[in-house]
Structure 1
């Protein structure tokens, strides 16, 4: 292994089954790629779902991140497991799966969704220091400022207060 063989540190971006071009455009921007590179990440793998915006593939030999993308995969869990950092849409499935695997997570809220209770969940978990929350516009800033050692592990048993909060928000009575 030569001196230039850096440890592979993959950032996995997932939009689930949705179309979230704003997130894909954001992670494909030079400012976000630069911020990730400065944090020591080497690879960017983007799952772009139904989106129509195609990121720029790169081998990473330009001294920046290697970038690859795909639309759907049956092995999202494998990608999550091998990631050093996950950047996800605000779908609760993606959020809880990533937290269950103990991966650092930045949730990017889709501001184009009008009725967005997903952002409530992300913001609640961010307040509890389990993840970072960003918008496509603030993502590069969030990456630049993040300190992963300040994140707290999420234990699934902690869900009750979060579930109560969400149920209250959705108008269900406390049981």
Structure 2
């Protein structure tokens, strides 16, 4: 331990040594081993995914900050991303200019129908008899499956892959022909 390291608690140094020690296997080999994990191993690794992602985010931020401060990070550099989309610098001035060109309203503006939430605020209380007609035209996409710990209060999805396939047995095919 050098004099610079004496100010750092030993636990932090040990953690850093573990992180900074080269892996025995390249990352690509680790990724290829994921299908070979047992359910128990997969559960253990998955329980740490948030911490791994926080670590990766901290590394990204540190590298970006160091490069932004002019410090070298071997093998990496700061670059400029592609420019953003075009925007008006002053919408009111643009409107006046386009009007001076004698453009029609439909040429100057893009119109869209209000959202279901906006329609609800506008119609539900002020015109309760009309609301059911509007509500009948509102749809909502189903929620997507998400992984959650067993302690999550939401009910677990029942997955039965047998029901996801058509019966292609000879008997089933023969009954289709009759």
- What TM bracket, shorter-length normalisation? under 0.3
Higher percent of residues as strand: 1
User: Normalising by the residue count of structure 1, what TM-score does the alignment of the two structures yield?
Assistant: 0.19
Structure number with larger C-alpha Rg: 2
Which structure exhibits the higher relative contact order, with contacts defined as CA atoms closer than 8 Å and separated by 6 or more residues? 1
Higher percent of residues as helix: 2
